[in-house]
Structure 1
Amino acid sequence: MFEIGAMAETQLQFAVQRDRRADGGQRQVRVGRRDILISRRLGGMSMLISVPVRAYRGVALDVEPSVDGGASYRLSLAHNDPDLDIVLTETADGGAISADWKYWASYLDLPRLAARDGELETVDPRLGGVALRETIARRKNTTVALRRPRFCARRKEGSDALMETVHREEREIVCYE
């Protein structure tokens, strides 16, 4: 598995992971900010695959109940092709996996995904490459309100009822005389 402390280094190490199709049942993986390098032997032929990070759907967290009544957590990079999925870490510590999940999503600039009922759901929604967050209402920030004139700070927000009015098939009358 990958160590988070190793991510600060400029030279990243290859980690050995299981690969059911590769010779010897294993492959070597290197995770970088821009690409993922997968090295394996398949049918006696060595191959090195470079997959851009943008090709991955996100950093997925999968929780599986363990035999002793606890839980087992697996953090992986989710790809549309299951052969290109990369396991980042597996642990039984819920607090550590939460911190790792946020770190990897931030480091790779990918959304966080949670596995629920066999499907991956986005935890932090995005619009294109921009993460969506809750909007701040205008003139509600107290630090700004203290610097504004009292009249501007007390103005109200626009109403949703006025925004719903849509005029269709109307013509504008313009007279230049």
Structure 2
Amino acid sequence: MFETSIAETQLQFAVQRDRRADGGQRQVRVGRRDILISRRLAGVSMMISVPVQAYRGVALDVEPSRDGGASYRLSLAHQDPDLDVVLTETADGGAISADWKYWASYLDLPRLAARGGALETIDPRLGGVALREAIARRKKTSVVQRRPRFCARRKEGEGERMATVYQGEREIVCYE
């Protein structure tokens, strides 16, 4: 049971390109809470643990490919470009869309789209809370078409009986 929860919360180390690391490679492990980046720099092994919340979001970048189609890159965007992590690269638009939603949900980060060199937020957020449209609490009926809630519980009065006026009789109320 313990081993399954670890397997669900973290992925295996993936090798990625790193221009500053020895050999031009680094290993990255993506977890629900943190990203572990290990690399060798000037002969010294180092491992950096970056909290997931330090990342700006899950970014989708679309570039034209050599065969005339499109190439999609999904990555974690950070303020420091050296800490950006490539999650997947593919030419399949349907698969990348599903992966984009999955990674944003899994890491609880907003989805970002690269447009004109800048990242644009697709899912608006207020702090750590995702903004969504308000849910309607009542049916969309006009006030004229329905009676107020307290009146709906009572029966309507009988119009014929209410129209009868008795003249010349004393009221029951005593004024003494």
TM range (shorter): 0.7 to 0.9
Q: Does 1:151 pair with 2:152?
A: no
Partner of 2:173: none
Q: Does 1:43 pair with 2:27?
A: no
**What SS is found at the alignment partner of 1:69?**
coil
1:1-177 alignment, distance < 5 Å: 9=8, 12-140=11-139, 150-152=147-149
In structure 1, what residue type is equivalent to 2:30? V
Unaligned 5+ segments in structure 1 are 1-6, 143-148, 153-177
**What SS is found at the alignment partner of 2:40?**
strand
**What SS is found at the alignment partner of 2:59?**
strand
TM-score (norm 2): 0.75
Asked whether the equivalents of residues 9 and 32 of structure 2 are also in contact (C-alpha less than 8 Å), the reply is no
TM-score (norm 1): 0.74
- The Cα shift of 1:12 comes to 2.7
Larger Rg: 2
- The Cα shift of 1:150 comes to 4.7
Partner of 1:163: none
Cα distance change, pair 137–10 in 1 and its aligned pair in 2 (3 A): closer
- The Cα shift of 1:140 comes to 3.0
- The Cα shift of 1:141 comes to 6.2
Unaligned 5+ segments in structure 2 are 1-5, 150-176
Partner of 1:166: none
Distance 1:11 1:67 in 2: 34
In structure 2, what residue type is equivalent to 1:121? E
What is the number of equivalent residue pairs in this alignment?
140
List per-residue Cα deviations over 1:35-75 (Å, max 9, x = no partner).
Answer: 00000000000000000000000000000011211100000
CA RMSD of aligned residues (A): 1.9
Distance 2:121 2:68 in 1: 27
List per-residue Cα deviations over 1:108-148 (Å, max 9, x = no partner).
Answer: 00000000000000001000111001123442369xxxxxx
Identical amino acids, percent of aligned pairs: 89
Distance 2:82 2:68 in 1: 30
> 4+ residue stretches of structure 1 with deviation over 6 A?
none
